[in-house]
Amino acid sequence: MNSRAARGGAGIAYRVDVAERHAHRLRVTLTIPRPAAEQHVSLPVWIPGSYLVREFARHLSGLAAAQGARAVALRQIDKASWVAQCRGRAALTLTYEVHAFDPSVRCAYLDARRGFFNGTSVFLRVQGRDHEPHRVTLAGLPAGWEVATTMRTGTRRNEFIAADYDELVDHPFELGRFWRGTFQAGGVAHEFVVAGALPDFDGQRLLDDAQRICVAQIALWHGNAPGAKPPFARYLFMLNALDEGYGGLEHRASTALVANRRDLPRAGSTERSDGYVKLLGLVSHEYFHAWNVKRLRPSEFAHVDYTRENYTALLWFFEGFTSYYDDLALLRAGLVDAPRYLRLVATTISGVLAAPGRKVQSLAQSSFDAWVKYYRQDENTPNATISYYTLGSLVALALDLSLRSAGKGRGADLDAVMRRLWQGSGGGPIGEDDILAAVAAAAGPRRGPALAARLHSWVHGTDDLPLAELLARFGVRWHEQPPTLAQRWGLRVAESALTGVKVTHVLRGGAAEAAGLAAGDELLAVEGWRLRRLEDALPLLPAKASARLLAVRDQCLLELTIATPAGAQGAVQLGLDESAGAAARALRKAWLQG
């Protein structure tokens, strides 16, 4: 801590008042000692970890400036920047309000029950002063509200200190009357705070399961040697349980999570529901990011630019490989068994194979275009894009299996690649060349160059991965279910009693596209029979290869003829092949411990 900052007498200082809870309004006072004659300030347009320009300034209003009692003129430069015309070096004080009513993990929220905010929504950046200490003081907290954050505490109550602006906006705050519990992993204190849980929430179970995940991940990155420590002095999980919601955002020493209230573990039950496993997967995913993307990170993110998009072609690695390890860590922690883990992998495979966009967009392109494509999904998304999360995780799987099968269970694996990257970069910025080099080195001189070249083609090309073949070497059976009617017709629908059967996506090159259906069409009838659900049409389809379809678009009836091809891609199922040979079983045991 900077000694001047500790005395509270210097540095950039923010006071955040949360008294106006019913108005969802944060009142911020920013004090800038020794301002420039023309002092520029700006609010970030995006939050690192979520690759979309969100224009946080749209929620900022009432900006005013003063030096002592004298009002200071402010000029707005662009959508998120202002300049104050100062006289002399007397401290400049800016006051403004932030509308805080976004329940996601990316912005700010305030009501009578809780508060939450990210610095990117709240703290104007003071140009030229990024590297000074920044101080935060919370005000207006109602009696009984607690504060959870990993920002360092200052000397006064509800005072917090960040060494620079990057640190300031990488320690979100949770405020309110929340549940809290702690555990140790790798010799480091970990804390969980949970807002919005039901009275029967079994917090101890969540702590125990999270601890197992953290221990497994620390071992992955740093080995099992005594004294192996994660690269942070403490860690905080902030979970907000909602009626409906799912998501997380990673930070250097914490994560903000949103999950369905009903997915939390319940007292008196030991069952791990699919919803709870999904929540544990989210916990695992965001924790893994403390290494992979917060420290080990794309070279383009070495210095974050908060005013614009920060492009990288490497999200397939930083999000995709993190997605591979999130569920794999559940297996290693003993929270799912091998058959259940394979069901999770099969769901990912099925999702990728159902997206014609995998033949259109490479993983590198998908990463680069995240700002305008992944984060702006529409009816054309499955036709023109592929997710760097799902396909990236399958590339990690294919790479792990390729490394493992070469060593006949004794050789390298993807863990060795991750550790090599971590050690080689000192937990810092890396490029694609570093990843390819680490793969080549882990695979050894004989196979390394070919495997690195294969990884390059998986990332920059659009050919399907050889997963069925790789999995067979590990005694894992690949089975395709018969296609559903939606898969045969090449469309996706949303069904409800209110809207009927509504087309959400028409897939590239499919029967629905050829028939003239479009996203938004309502399917009324097939072969003269009213439809309530799409699958109701199955018994109505005649033996002939096409069907008469009645649909509505923009109030107009459409009479269409749709072909019903038999050979469509069905969902993939994976299972343990009990007839696998000894070599395959040995490989499987080393990979899945089962």
Comparing CB distances to Zn ion, the nearer of 132 and 319 is 319
* Minimal distance, residue 352 CB to Zn ion, in Å: 17
Comparing CB distances to Zn ion, the nearer of 28 and 249 is 249
Comparing CB distances to Zn ion, the nearer of 319 and 415 is 319
Tokens, residue 165: 């602006």
The whole-angstrom separation of Cα 78 and Cα 183 is 46
Comparing CB distances to Zn ion, the nearer of 115 and 392 is 392
* Minimal distance, residue 314 CB to Zn ion, in Å: 13
* Minimal distance, residue 286 CB to Zn ion, in Å: 7
* Minimal distance, residue 319 CB to Zn ion, in Å: 5
Q: Which three-class secondary structure state does DSSP give residue 3?
A: helix
Comparing CB distances to Zn ion, the nearer of 201 and 232 is 232
* Minimal distance, residue 106 CB to Zn ion, in Å: 13
Comparing CB distances to Zn ion, the nearer of 170 and 319 is 319
Q: Do residues 333 and 216 touch, judged by C-beta distance below 8 A?
A: yes
**CA distances from residue 240 to 54, 86, 103, 287, 445 in whole angstroms, order as listed:** 21, 42, 9, 16, 48
Comparing CB distances to Zn ion, the nearer of 209 and 319 is 319
CA-closest candidate to residue 14, choices 109, 106, 93:
93
Task: State the binding string over 342-381 for Zn ion (x if CB under 5 A, else -).
Answer: ----------------------------------------
Comparing CB distances to Zn ion, the nearer of 149 and 390 is 390
**CA distances from residue 227 to 182, 222, 284, 423, 559 in whole angstroms, order as listed:** 20, 9, 22, 17, 71
* Site size for Zn ion (CB under 5 A): 1
Sheet holding 146-148, edge to edge: 108-110, 114-117, 173-176, 146-148
Comparing CB distances to Zn ion, the nearer of 102 and 319 is 319
* Minimal distance, residue 326 CB to Zn ion, in Å: 8
Comparing CB distances to Zn ion, the nearer of 39 and 217 is 217
Task: State the binding string over 255-284 for Zn ion (x if CB under 5 A, else -).
Answer: ------------------------------
Q: Which three-class secondary structure state does DSSP give residue 457?
A: helix
The whole-angstrom separation of Cα 366 and Cα 358 is 10
- Please, which residues bridge with residue 180 across strands? 193
Q: How many CB atoms lie within 10 A of CB 301?
A: 17
The whole-angstrom separation of Cα 65 and Cα 83 is 10
Q: Do residues 139 and 147 touch, judged by C-beta distance below 8 A?
A: no
The whole-angstrom separation of Cα 93 and Cα 88 is 13
**Single-letter amino acid code for the residue at 226:** P
* Minimal distance, residue 238 CB to Zn ion, in Å: 16
Contacts of Zn ion in 172-211 (CB under 5 A): none
CA of residue 11 relative to chain centroid, distance: 33
* Minimal distance, residue 293 CB to Zn ion, in Å: 7
Q: Which helix (H) or strand (E) holds 274?
A: helix 274-288
* Minimal distance, residue 389 CB to Zn ion, in Å: 7
* Minimal distance, residue 551 CB to Zn ion, in Å: 38
Tokens, residue 225: 């040697």
CA-closest candidate to residue 191, choices 245, 232, 228:
232
Comparing CB distances to Zn ion, the nearer of 319 and 400 is 319
Task: State the binding string over 303-332 for Zn ion (x if CB under 5 A, else -).
Answer: ----------------x-------------
Contacts of Zn ion in 438-467 (CB under 5 A): none
Core vs surface per residue 306-318: b (16+ CB within 10 A) or e: bbeebebbbbbbb
Using CB atoms, what's the residue nearest to Zn ion? 319
* Minimal distance, residue 292 CB to Zn ion, in Å: 9
Binding site for Zn ion (CB under 5 A): 319
